[in-house]
Amino acid sequence: MALLDAQTLSRLQGVKLRARAVMEGVLSGLHKSPHQGQSVEFAEHKEYAPGDELRHLDWKAYGKFDKYYIKRFEHETNLRSVMVVDASASMGYRSGALSKLEVSTILAGALCYLLVRQQDAAGLAVMVGEAFKDVPPRASAGHLNVLLDALEHTQPQGTTNLASAADHLAEVLPRRSTVIVLSDLLDEREDALKRILALRQRKNDVVLFHVVDPAELTFPFDDPTLFLDMEGDARIEVNPREIKESYLEEFGAFLASVKAACAEADVDYELVRTDERLDEVLLRFLARRGRRR
Amino acid sequence: MTFGNPWMLLGALGALIPLLVHLFDRRRPRPHPFGPMAFVLRSQKRTASRLKLKRLLLYALRTLILLAIPVALARPELRRDAAASAVAKGPAATAVVLDASLSMRWADGTSLFERGRDEARDALKDLQADEPSTVLVCTSAPAAPPPPGFDRARLRAIIDEARPTYGTADLSRCMELAARALEENPTPGKRLVLVSDMTAAAFRLESPPPTVKDPTGKRVRPEVVLRDAAEGREALPNHSLVELKVEPALQAGPRAFQFTFTVKNQSPEAVKDVEAAVRVGEAALAKGFVDVPANGTAQKSLTVRFPQGGTVEGAVTLAPDALPEDDQRSFVLPVPRALKALVINGAPHATRYRDEAFFVEAALTAPGSPVEVSMRDMDAGLRENYAAYDLVLLLNVPAPSAEDAERLAAFVTAGGGLFVSMGDRVDPDSYNSRLGALLPRALRLVRTSVEREDPEAETKSAKLAKVEVEHPLFSPFTGRAEEGLVGARFYRYMLLEADNPAATGASQVLATYEDGAPAVAVARRGKGRVGLFTSTVDRDWSDFAIRTSFLPLMQRFAAYLTGSLEEREEQRVRVGETVTLRPEGGQVIAAVRAPDGTELAVKAQQDGSVVAGPLLEPGLYAVLGAEGKPLQALDFAVMLDPVESDLTRLPSDTLTAYFGEETVKASSGDAERPKVPLWTWLIVAACAAFFFEGTLLRK
């Protein structure tokens, strides 16, 4: 498990290795989880009614009770998931071992592993500025390499445009898909987050991984600093100690507003710090999903 | 403003450091690409105005710290500013006049004199090094001060050793003496520094202000610095005992006295329930309370009955105030002692009220009387040993034999008292031949104004017309008490010769009838006294014996003739005066012991009296005879001058006008000066600035 901290992951070369390490960590953690079996499982019996499929008739029950019963199952169909990775310039910020983008790609890769392993379809949409790099969802084992290659070659650039991403996904995604967004949400446009959350209204299951750097949370700067905007030309010279209190208030309010908006839109929200163990992030996420079901 | 360490002011340049740091410390900030720039920008915008104010405050506080510390170390003093301006024209010979009068003893925790000494020390400290100076401690008898010099230690010692007196101080005179001393110094500038409570009584504003000679010989006013020991107070509240009168209170007994004292309140507010008491030693014999209106006076009387005779020494006291010295006054009081009287009855009678001595005996043995009476008839009485008695009364006694007359004369000369009253048995010629030298005046003949049985006796009888109420014998018979005397009717009385050429001392007629004939005559014979009553002491020749005045008059006769009624005038000696003492008989006065225990030498005078003093302390003075033997009868009390109890202050305008507005350079007082040196406030300010700077930085 010591392999999975940020420092160790940063030493592993490539998303494939990193995502696999995280995925294996998750799988070993799942044995302890009460949510065993991600595949199709028996749920209950139902008395036969005309129109029910005969292949689900439980002949053993008929032998015992002399009545026709139909077996009912959960998740009778395969899951269709798309990882939406924000690759804007601000995602390249790092104060520790991994940048926000690296954390996002590792998480996305690990999730792809998990999905393909249980025969679910996994796809990818990488936001690079205004452009998108799409990999349609498929459930084949060979598709995993395509996904991981796409993540491997992602570099931070351009500005964050969540609204544009939302519009694009609305076009390409079939209904009732699972959309997993990994972003720092640093988009100052007024309705950017709302547009993403609106995907939920199209019967999609939306999950938001909010990736933040610890320095963004604690603002640990002391000396006078010239802050440069990573997605624009803005720059400002300040004494960080003088504005720290105000910054923390502002950022805290931002996090709270995002969390509140997700709760209101029935979207799963997960705050991810780039310095925490990613297998624990995924286990925490899966556990919450299990409770929801 | 002056500075104790002016070179420390160079450190004030350090106050420029924050400005220089602000101007030149332009360190390049570290560039840092950052994602959530929007939050940084918003935070900067939100806090910009507050940060600007904070930076300004920090700059101000740091400048204040760096400025206050070196200025404080330079020890600035505003107080010295006045003195500095006074000496700005150049050095001046200075004389410090320190008021040491009684009023400077006024204290509200610290006495004015203590404050005055501090002011005098400060005055010396404020002088420049090249200014010669001298000190004059102003008392009731000031001595010329030493010439101005540079021995400051000696002057400080004079101030340290100075003590407040109990007397007055003539500040005008002291200022004049100080000005004379300044003239002896060649320094062109002259300065008088007056340290006083500025009470009006200490100045003689009608006299010209002090002057000194300038280099041309012209008289000019010196510079005057007024240092107010009372620190600018408008009033110095004080009540005092200004007058004390002690009189016998016969109605309360032979040894009863009424103490009447006047209390003066010299404050703008009335005082109530001031405790007043008559004390002997630690015991309070009488107590009372007195209310005194604002700036007014009130009288209070307390009656004290002394248990035994003799000289009593005590004090009348008021509840002490800020000036306790004037709240008491000592007294020395001769209280009548027990007397033995021999009454020789010349006309005894079986019926008591017709007996010659009946009324006299009743009067002398009345309750409370100090007289112990022995009654004798003529034969037995004239054979008595007179030395066993203080007083002999001859009541209608025929002229004694020559031998008895000689014994009587010897008795009187040795200090005994003799009372003689007339009657049918008194033969003028026999009396004149045997007792002529003893009697105040020779007897002439009996005069009958009217027969007692006469129906018109009421109107035709003689009455007393003139009574010497100033004399101790008759002093109580004033006002309504006089009616008891003038109402008495005299049917017959002895006329006296106009003069007694045989007598060595002059006689004194104390009461006369309407026709001018003497009714009472007294004379001193040797150490004793003789009293002559020209009518009878029973009802044969007058009805005086049944009058209300008879009893007290007979008792006073007994006291007066035995010397118990003090004829000697009370010694009214004030602090600063001398006292003249007259020894009696063979008494020798060796010394006088002051209240503080010191013995004062006395100076013999040609007339036999001795002089002691000047007496510098109020209270009881004991007179010592040969070998230190106390002569208590001569003891006396010294009182304060009531003038010094008047603490009315002169307004500064008046003083300035008196000394000359152009010469009074600094009218200083602690009220006008900072009580705490300025540098301590600067340190406090620096500490406060340091604290706030730290607090601001933490925010």
Q: Looking at residue A3, what is its pLDDT?
A: 41
Q: Looking at residue B343, what is its pLDDT?
A: 94
Cα B298 to chain centroid, rounded: 17
Q: Looking at residue A213, what is its pLDDT?
A: 95
Q: Looking at residue B503, what is its pLDDT?
A: 53
Chain B residues in contact with A274 by the CB 8 A cut-off are: none
Phi and psi, residue B377, nearest 5°: -80, 180
Going by pLDDT thresholds of 50, 70 and 90, the confidence category of residue A216 is very high
SS3 B240: strand
Check if the beta carbon of residue B39 is closer than 8 Å to that of residue A247. Answer: yes
Test B37 with A246 for CB contact under 8 angstroms.
Answer: no
Q: What is the mean pLDDT of residues A96-114?
A: 90
Judge whether residue B80 has pLDDT over 60.
Answer: no
Q: Looking at residue B82, what is its pLDDT?
A: 41
DSSP state of B104: G
**A69 and A196 within one domain:** no
Instruction: Please tell me the least confidently modeled range out of A268-282, B123-137, B617-631, B672-686.
Output: B672-686
Class (C level, CATH) for B339-561:
alpha beta
Closest of B316, B234, B243, B298 to residue B267, by C-alpha: B234
Q: Who wins on pLDDT, B481 or B130?
A: B130
CB under 8 Å, gap of 24 or more: what pairs does A133-138 form? A134/A172, A136/A172, A137/A80, A137/A81, A137/A82, A137/A177
**A173 and A65 within one domain:** no
Test A234 with B37 for CB contact under 8 angstroms.
Answer: yes
Judge whether residue B328 has pLDDT over 80.
Answer: yes
Check if the beta carbon of residue B527 is closer than 8 Å to that of residue B459. Answer: no
Test A242 with B47 for CB contact under 8 angstroms.
Answer: yes
Test B37 with A230 for CB contact under 8 angstroms.
Answer: yes
Superfamily (CATH H level) for B239-336: Immunoglobulins (2.60.40.10)
Question: How many cross-chain Cβ pairs, A to B, lie less than 8 Å apart?
Answer: 82
Instruction: Please tell me the least confidently modeled range out of B340-354, B488-502, B609-623, B653-667.
Output: B653-667
Q: Looking at residue B134, what is its pLDDT?
A: 92
Report the percentage of chain B scoring pLDDT > 70: 92
- The amino acid that residue A165 corresponds to is A
Cα B361 to chain centroid, rounded: 44
**A123 and A54 within one domain:** no
Q: Is B30 on the interface with A (CB under 8 A)?
A: yes
Q: Looking at residue A1, what is its pLDDT?
A: 38
Q: What is the mean pLDDT of residues B488-513?
A: 82
Instruction: Please tell me the least confidently modeled range out of A149-153, B23-27, B160-164, B391-395.
Output: B23-27
Going by pLDDT thresholds of 50, 70 and 90, the confidence category of residue A33 is very low
Going by pLDDT thresholds of 50, 70 and 90, the confidence category of residue B95 is very high
Residue among B30, B43, B51 minimizing CB distance to A247: B43
Q: In what order do the strands lie in the sheet with B464-467?
A: B371-377, B339-345, B391-395, B417-421, B528-533, B518-525, B507-513, B464-467
Q: What is the mean pLDDT of residues B185-189?
A: 84
Radius of gyration of chain B (CA): 41
* Domain at A16, CATH number: 3.40.50.410
Chain B residues in contact with A228 by the CB 8 A cut-off are: 31-34, 37
Report the percentage of chain B scoring pLDDT > 90: 28
Query: What rounded mean pLDDT belongs to chain A?
Result: 81
Decide whether B239-336 matches B573-639 in CATH topology: yes
Q: Looking at residue A76, what is its pLDDT?
A: 46
The C-alpha of B54 sits at a distance from chain A's nearest C-alpha, in angstroms, of 10
Q: Looking at residue A209, what is its pLDDT?
A: 94
SS3 A121: strand
Q: What is the mean pLDDT of residues A232-260?
A: 90
Q: For residue B51, give the chain A residue with the closest CA.
A: A242
**A236 and A142 within one domain:** yes
Q: Who wins on pLDDT, B656 or B662?
A: B656
**A61 and A158 within one domain:** no
- The amino acid that residue B320 corresponds to is P
Test B39 with A221 for CB contact under 8 angstroms.
Answer: no
**A114 and A15 within one domain:** yes
Q: Looking at residue A18, what is its pLDDT?
A: 65
Query: What rounded mean pLDDT belongs to chain B?
Result: 85
Q: Is B32 on the interface with A (CB under 8 A)?
A: yes
Judge whether residue A8 has pLDDT over 80.
Answer: no
Q: Looking at residue B221, what is its pLDDT?
A: 85
Q: What is the pLDDT of residues B356-388, one digit of tens each?
A: 999 999 998 887 677 889 999 988 888 889 999
**A50 and A103 within one domain:** no
Lookup: tokens for B125: 């400290």
Identify the domain containing residue A53 by its residue range.
41-74
Looking at domain B573-639, does it have CATH number 2.60.40.10?
yes
**A120 and A48 within one domain:** no
C-alpha distance from residue B217 to each of A62, B146, B148, B207, B212 (Å): 152, 22, 19, 21, 9
Q: What is the pLDDT of residues B400-448, one digit of tens each?
A: 999 999 999 999 998 899 999 999 999 999 999 998 888 998 899 999 9
Q: Is B36 on the interface with A (CB under 8 A)?
A: yes
Q: What is the pLDDT of residues A264-277, one digit of tens each?
A: 888 889 999 999 88
Domain count for chain A, please give it: 2
**A65 and A196 within one domain:** no
Test B29 with A225 for CB contact under 8 angstroms.
Answer: yes
**A155 and A62 within one domain:** no
Q: Looking at residue B511, what is its pLDDT?
A: 93
Q: What is the mean pLDDT of residues B640-663?
A: 82
Q: Looking at residue A27, what is its pLDDT?
A: 63
Domain boundaries, chain B: 2-24+48-78+679-698, 94-235, 239-336, 339-561, 573-639
Q: Looking at residue B424, what is its pLDDT?
A: 92
* Dist. CA A247–CA A243, nearest whole Å: 6
Q: What is the pLDDT of residues A158-206, one digit of tens each?
A: 888 888 888 888 888 777 788 899 999 888 777 888 888 888 887 788 8
Instruction: Please tell me the least confidently modeled range out of A30-34, B223-227, B326-330.
Output: A30-34
The C-alpha of B683 sits at a distance from chain A's nearest C-alpha, in angstroms, of 30
**A16 and A63 within one domain:** no
Q: For residue B699, give the chain A residue with the closest CA.
A: A242
Judge whether residue B288 has pLDDT over 60.
Answer: yes
CATH, domain range B94-235: 3.40.50.410
